[in-house]
Amino acid sequence: MVTLRKLPWAFVLLLSASSALADEPKRATENVILLMTDGLRWQEVFTGAEEVLMTKENGGVTDIEGLRKAYWRDTPEARREVLMPYFWNVMAKQGQIYGNQHKGSVAQVTNGMNFSYPGYNETLCGFSDPRIDSNDKRPNHNVTVFEWLHRKPGFQGRVAAFGVWDVFPFIFNRQRCGFYINAGFEPFEEGTVSPQVQLLNRLRVETPRRWTAEPFDAVPFLTAMEYFKERKPRVFFLSLNETDSWGHEGRYDEYLTAAHRADAYLQELWETAQSMPQYKDKTTLIFLPDHGRGDAPVEWKNHGKKVPRSEFIWIGMLGPDTPALGERSNVPLVTQSQVAATLAAALGEDYNAAQSEAGKPIADALRSK
């Protein structure tokens, strides 16, 4: 009988390493969805509607009674659940939620700018860049984790990004990245243009425009869903915008309604994924905003480096490799800069090895391999 003591040490180490690898569970995630909603405050996410803003003076509300009936409840837990029911009944119970400062969980951006282009760059690249100091349409010098993944075998032609805001082609750097991007008022002309897509393209052109840089969320969302169901990307980005736009207008009623609708879109996207064999129990979803906003009753409309506390955000995760720890409390700080590496790690990829500036994956967000 051959014993380990008679074998060469190198072979013993090889056997030990092979045994350890065999014991490590393989992650189930094969696809990742990154869903974002622009400028949705952590305060509403964790405590629901804020009463001081449910007025005409502070929140531009005309139908106060109707708004209170829709979103006011006696406790923060009831208010947040009526505002974002799927987020709290599914994502919070089956996944993890970070950012409730009342419970010792803080999530924040690190770029110091606290507005959109720097926030999306930090989310997608894993680090802040002082050169990005405006929302101007300048091609991003930095390679996003989406572009990095797209260059790898198994991901080429399987990455796509959809955004309501028309700056996303520059944030992802369409000229260089190589994957499909649809944003703003652009028609959708990728692949087969079905009657449904033709109708959506027509609505995109003919619907009255309230904002110059972005349409309402509905048409871009429905367009993204058509692509998702038809092309089945492995890495998929979708960003909504009305939570930010209505916030800037000081319309708290529309802001809350946009948050509620974003929650419904979260549900539709996740349930669609779970109904498809490629995605069912093989997909991780990450949900967050690009920045926070200031405090009520005045600064909630705004954000930026001069607006106190607009650096604070929230992050939600759901998937087969994310332990169901729910709403986190008394945990270390998490940052927006950790999202890119966390996204890659869910797919078994080491983003930090390629981009040393990027934040490390969120420690508890994924089971050890």
**Torsions phi, psi for 355 (to 5 deg):** -130, 95
State mean pLDDT over 23-27.
61
* Number of domain units in the chain: 1
Average pLDDT (130-153) is 98
Would you say residue 364 lies in a domain? no
Q: Give a yes or no: residue 199 inside a domain.
A: yes
Lowest average pLDDT, out of 7-21, 131-145, 266-280, 325-339, goes to 7-21
Over range 329-356, report the average pLDDT. 98
Residue 5, domain member (yes or no): no
- Distance, in Å, from the CA atom of 75 to the CA atom of 13, rounded to the nearest integer, reads 58
Question: In this structure, is the dihedral angle defined by the CA atoms of residues 147, 152, 156 and 159, taken in order, positive or negative?
Answer: negative
Q: What is the DSSP string of 246-268?
A: HHHTT-HHHHHHHHHHHHHHHHH
Question: Confidence class of residue 25 from pLDDT cuts 50, 70 and 90?
Answer: low
C-alpha 327, offset from chain centre: 17
| Average pLDDT over every residue of 243-268 | 98
Residue 93 lies in domain = 29-354
pLDDT higher than threshold 90 for residue 109? yes
Residues 79, 49 contacting (CB under 8 angstroms): yes
Task: Count how many Cα atoms sit within 13 Å of the Cα of residue 115 in the half-sphere of its side chain.
Answer: 17
Residue 332: per-residue pLDDT: 98
Residue 226 lies in a domain: yes
Residue 326 lies in a domain: yes
Give a yes or no: residue 109 inside a domain.
yes
Domain annotation covers residue 363? no
- Kindly state the average pLDDT of the residues 94-101: 98
Confidence bin at 193 (pLDDT 50/70/90): confident
CATH code of 238's domain:
3.40.720.10
pLDDT of 143 strictly over 50: yes
DSSP H helices, the chain, are 9-23, 42-47, 56-59, 64-71, 76-83, 85-86, 92-94, 116-125, 145-150, 168-171, 174-177, 195-206, 218-231, 242-248, 252-274, 339-346, 351-354
CA distances to 134, 152, 168, 226 from 182, in Å: 21, 22, 8, 12
Is residue 257 a part of any domain in this protein? yes
